[in-house]
Amino acid sequence: MTQDAQLKRHTLITITMASFLTPFMGSAVNLAIPAIGEQFNASAMHLSWVVTSYILASAAFLVPFGRLADIVGRKKVFIAGNISFFLFSLLCGLATSVEMLIAFRALQGIGSALIFGTAMAILTSVFPPQERGKILGINVATVYTGLSLGPVLGGSLNHNLGWQSIFYFCAIIGLAVIIMSLTRLKGEWAGARGERYDLTGAVLYSFGLVLFMYGISSIGTSAWSGYILTAGLVILAVFIRHELKTELPVLNLKLFSKNVTFAFSNLAALINYSATFAVGFLVSLYLQVVLGYNSQQAGFILLSQPVLMAVLSPFAGKLSDRVQPRLVASWGMALCTTGLFIFVFLTRQTPIWLVLANLALLGVGFALFSSPNSNAVMGSVEKKFYGIASSTLGTMRLTGQAISMAMATLIITMFVGNVELQQADVNQLTKSIKIAFTVFAVTCLAGIFASLARGNMHTENRPVHKPGN
């Protein structure tokens, strides 16, 4: 095996191991939410923040860390992220209150931002353009393998060993990634080495996005949410003005204004995740609280969605190397819209086979959307912007996830109230879940048009690959 082939192989293994961690953690924690709530006597609002705090912190730091990685080296930032993720996974398992757990989850999210601001950029740096769709498809398949194992293994760990075991398991995987990164990931990639880092822009971006996302997430549960949201928007406006005047900005806004494919691919990702991320959270509540399944049983039912994502994503990525990514992704968005509309009709009498079949339909739709959309984003920029493109797409994903959880939490709180889940009125909870799916279905329908609007991606405009950059 040549040195170049070895580098590709070891890079793919290391990055895919890291890419497994976050989705596994997310889907596994969804199954542990009722158990965490029972141990800490936590309300639905507090439990939603166990999920949201992680997403918010990840989103706020993705772009600044992606730009930093382009300058100082993507491998350095990637390794720092894995060390942070390992440490705070351990501390999450040792938390003694829901507030402490939320705080450690936020710090774990910062570690995740270091990883995901660089992972896709490293893959794109090592593999040539003609292999990009296939490799990103494999990476996305690994993400969905994490989603697949999360409900089953996470539900089983929670049921037999307690919710803390989920975090300890992730810490073990994180340690393995650190060892692989230090011993097998050879070379360094920094497409903008030596350029000045825009610290002012990074601070404005992170602070503004935290306030903006916190304001959205707290609507309906905090009297201050409107003021916080407004403050976030003002700071983001100052950030945009600053970036337009800065020679080397932390986020090159011209990527949005002068690159239609980049802009609309990111918009499509934002809409898709806003509409689909809370599906696992809502269906988990439906299965455990409404129908009375335990976490292990619910995990096996939820498995049908991510298994199809994992199986089909490499094929969807490879297909997007041959067919325009916008067409493949738009068909995926259409299938997601159909699945969300079907869940609008959930009742306590809905047969489980129908829930399984519809989760499978959503899995097919999301597989067709995700890797072709990632291919469109990464294929639309020059190599010096790989880190910022990867982290921008990640920010769209995480911002969408936070919006999705905020919408779900707001709707549930409106109908159920700020009470412990065990005390919730089952009929009102079912009604709130159905209304949430209605909102998500309409949102996803709008995403089809955003996906189609990006235009065709021309192969001749894709950047030329040069190893080691």
Residues 6+ apart with CB under 8 A from 138: 12, 16, 313, 314, 317
In this structure, are 226 and 343 located in the same domain?
A: no
- Residues 276 and 216 reside in one and the same domain: no
Chain center to CA of 25: 11
In a domain, 301, yes or no: yes
Whether residue 122 is found in the same domain as residue 231? no
Q: What is the pLDDT of residues 40-94, one digit of tens each?
A: 887 777 787 888 788 788 888 888 888 888 888 888 888 999 999 999 999 999 9
Domain containing 243: what range? 198-249
What CA–CA distance (Å, rounded) separates 373 from 451?
A: 9
- Say yes or no: 359 and 343 in one domain: yes
- Quote the pTM value: 0.73
On whether residue 284 sits in a domain, the answer given is: yes
CA–CA dist 31, 299 (Å, integer): 7
Apex 41 CA angle, 427 and 212, nearest 5 = 80
Same domain, 158 and 267: yes
Residue 61 in domain: yes
Per-residue model confidence (pLDDT) at position 190: 67
**Residues 180 and 206 placed together within one structural domain of the fold:** no
In a domain, 164, yes or no: yes
Residues 118 and 176 in one domain: yes
Residues 191 and 266 in one domain: yes
Do residues 80 and 225 both lie within one domain? no
Would residue 467 count as lying in a domain?
Answer: no
Q: Which residue has the tokens 């497994």?
A: 20
CA–CA separation, 104 vs 121, rounded Å? Answer: 27
Tell me 457's DSSP state.
P
Do 356 and 454 sit in the same domain of this protein?
A: yes
What does DSSP assign to residue 290?
A: I
Which two tokens mark 144? 């969905």
Question: In the listed set 249, 270, 288, which residue is the last one of a domain according to the structure?
Answer: 249
Q: For residue 200, which amino acid is it?
A: T
CA-CA-CA-CA torsion sign (444, 371, 323, 314) = negative
Tokens of 206: 């992170």
Do residues 54 and 155 both lie within one domain?
yes
Q: What is the CATH number of the domain that holds 152?
A: 1.20.1250.20
> Which of 249, 277, 310 marks a domain boundary?
249
Identify the sign of the CA torsion 325, 328, 333, 336. Answer: negative
| Number of independent structural domains in the chain | 2
Give pLDDT < 70 ranges for the chain: 1-3, 147-148, 190-191, 217, 219-222, 417-424, 454-469
Report helix, strand or coil for 177.
Answer: helix
CB 154 within 8 A of CB 166: yes
Looking at the fold, whether 211 and 280 belong to one and the same domain comes out as no
Determine the distance from the C-alpha atom of residue 336 to the mean position of all C-alpha atoms in its chain, rounded to a whole number: 16
466 assigned to some structural domain: no
Q: Note whether residue 312 is domain-resident.
A: yes
**Which DSSP string corresponds to 122-168?**
HHHHHS-HHHHHHHHHHHHHHHHHHHHHIIIIIHHHHHHH-THHHHH
